[in-house]
Copies of this chain bind each other. A is one copy, B any other.
Amino acid sequence: MLKDFQSHISKNFPELLKNKFLLACSGGLDSVLLSYLCKQNHMDFILAHCNFRLRGADSNGDEDFVKELGHRLGKPVYVTHFDTMGYVNNHNVSVQMAARDLRYHWFKGLMEEHAIEYLVTAHHADDNLETFLINLSRGTGIEGLTGIPETSNQIRRPLLKFTRQRILEYAQECNLEWREDESNSDTKYLRNKIRLEIVPKLKELHPTFMDNFERTLGYLKETREISKSELKRVKRELFKTDGQHWKISISELKKLQPIEGYLHGLFQEYGFTQWNDILLLLDALSGKTIYAENYVLLKNRNHLILGKNEGEEQEEFEIQEGVIQIQQPIGLEIKQVSEKKDNQGNIIYVDKNTLKFPLTVRKWKEGDYFYPLGMQGKKKLSKYFKDEKLDLFAKKEQWLLCSNDEVVWVIGRRADDRFKVKDTTKQILSIAIQ
């Protein structure tokens, strides 16, 4: 195996021959063998071991083992201890996720500290098959079946082409010692079940099962990439942006077949996972929206509008009496004038004595109403926006000028009747958008 490993490294990972790297070593079979192979191949590396303190004395035994291994190989060993369960409780994540977050965060720091560019892990071919089967059992798309890559950003996985069987045989041949991981997390349990009960049976189905599996992964990756190219192209053509939102023609979307697949592919990166909802949105009433964690998708007549889901901004900006200009959140100029002219979209005239300072500038909220200038009676802002055909995003961006929380001006659109200049008005203020 050493020769195969050496030629595999020369051919596919030459960067690991020229640079010092970090080797993540748990003390288990795979990472011990990898450390040993790298040493035999005269590579320059340091070992990094995480003690997750999940298995008491066993965890400490692993740590001692890796320190001893480093000593024997003549390589430095860096060790850290984590309060993994504390992280689980604080962040409400699984043990597996916690271990992953903690590990990679620490590796990253260590690499920066030592100016090391590559992290090497001991994943092997059976890991990929096990992951394939775990994901299959849970239901997955092509991403979940294509396995982990040999190379991703700074991570290198030079054992990925080798089977566990081969690794085990070579480790035994070399009389290596390693630690057995006795942990029993859910995933570990699943993996063990797959490893012990399913994979051996699968391998009996075909004499070159693992080679065939590697070929399958290759084909699936190709299909995945081709499908990604198509989605990218469609996105380039259909997603028109004004820098803030994307506007997507519904009739163009409907031409795509199979539409569910395209909706899934186009919107999943924005966090939308219920693409059936998106499908229904295409034929929903204008104004209907669906929400993902960070994005919102709105049907607006013939288009879908995709934008950030900013949450509700409740900020209010005050304008004290005497202030003649504000910049935030919108540029306004307030002047005392001697004569009223007609209101325009960007300027209104009000009776100063009807106002109660400080005025406020804020966004619209549910329940707001006003008395549109020149109309009888009051009107809900939601109704006004609807009549004006404002879409969700326009509504969200609409500022209101208020006095005592009553709407004086739907800024840039319509003034309120209650504050208008009358014959009895003594002091006229002009308020203009800058």
Is A139's beta carbon under 8 Å from chain B? yes
Q: How far apart are A205's CB and chain B's nearest CB, in angstroms? A: 4
A194 to B198, CA, bound (A): 10
A41 to B39, CA, bound (A): 71
Q: Quick one: copies of this chain in the complex?
A: 2
Contacts A202-B133, A212-B138, A220-B141 hold; do A225 and B194 have CB atoms under 8 A apart? no
**Residue of B whose beta carbon sits closest to that of A134:** B205
Collect the chain B residues with CB atoms within 8 Å of residue A206's CB.
Answer: 137-138
Is A219's beta carbon under 8 Å from chain B? yes
Contact A137 B205 (CB under 8 A): yes
**Segment touching B, from A255-263, A286-294, A320-328:** A255-263
Contacts A226-B227, A258-B225 hold; do A193 and B205 have CB atoms under 8 A apart? yes
Is A229's beta carbon under 8 Å from chain B? yes
A216 to B134, CA, bound (A): 12
Is A209's beta carbon under 8 Å from chain B? yes
Is A213's beta carbon under 8 Å from chain B? yes
* Residue in B190, B213, B221, B258 whose beta carbon sits within 8 Å of that of A222 in the complex: B258
Contact A226 B136 (CB under 8 A): no
Is A231's beta carbon under 8 Å from chain B? yes
Within 8 A of B (CB), among A51-72: none
Within 8 A of B (CB), among A119-160: 133-134, 136-142, 144-145
Contacts A227-B230, A265-B226 hold; do A216 and B257 have CB atoms under 8 A apart? no
Contact B204 A201 (CB under 8 A): no
Q: How far apart are A222's CB and chain B's nearest CB, in angstroms? A: 3
Is A366's beta carbon under 8 Å from chain B? no
Is A4's beta carbon under 8 Å from chain B? no
Q: How far apart are A134's CB and chain B's nearest CB, in angstroms? A: 7
Is A96's beta carbon under 8 Å from chain B? no
Collect the chain B residues with CB atoms within 8 Å of residue A216's CB.
Answer: 136, 139-141, 144-145
Contacts A139-B212, A139-B215, A142-B142 hold; do A222 and B134 have CB atoms under 8 A apart? no
Is A277's beta carbon under 8 Å from chain B? no
Collect the chain B residues with CB atoms within 8 Å of residue A231's CB.
Answer: 226
Contact A265 B141 (CB under 8 A): no
Residue of A134, A138, A141, A205 most packed against chain B (CB within 10 A): A205
Is A182's beta carbon under 8 Å from chain B? no
Collect the chain B residues with CB atoms within 8 Å of residue A220's CB.
Answer: 141-142, 145
Collect the chain B residues with CB atoms within 8 Å of residue A229's CB.
Answer: 230, 257
Q: How far apart are A130's CB and chain B's nearest CB, in angstroms? A: 11
Contact B202 A198 (CB under 8 A): yes
Q: How far apart are A125's CB and chain B's nearest CB, in angstroms? A: 14
Interface string of A208-243 (1 = CB under 8 A from B): 010111011001111111110111010000000000
Collect the chain B residues with CB atoms within 8 Å of residue A303's CB.
Answer: none
Interface string of A251-293 (1 = CB under 8 A from B): 0000001101110110000000000000000000000000000
| Shortest Cβ-Cβ A-B pairs, 4 listed | A222-B261, A139-B212, A230-B230, A137-B205
Supply 15 A–B pairs (Cβ within 8 Å), ascending by A.
Answer: A133-B202, A133-B205, A137-B202, A138-B206, A139-B213, A141-B223, A142-B223, A145-B220, A221-B258, A222-B262, A223-B227, A225-B257, A226-B230, A227-B227, A227-B230
Extra contacts besides A139-B216, A226-B227 (8): CB < 8 Å: A133-B202, A136-B213, A141-B216, A141-B219, A190-B205, A219-B264, A225-B261, A230-B233
| Interface residue ranges, A against B (CB under 8 Å) | 133-134, 136-142, 144-145, 190, 193-194, 197-198, 201-202, 204-206, 209, 211-213, 215-216, 219-227, 229-231, 233, 257-258, 260-262, 264-265
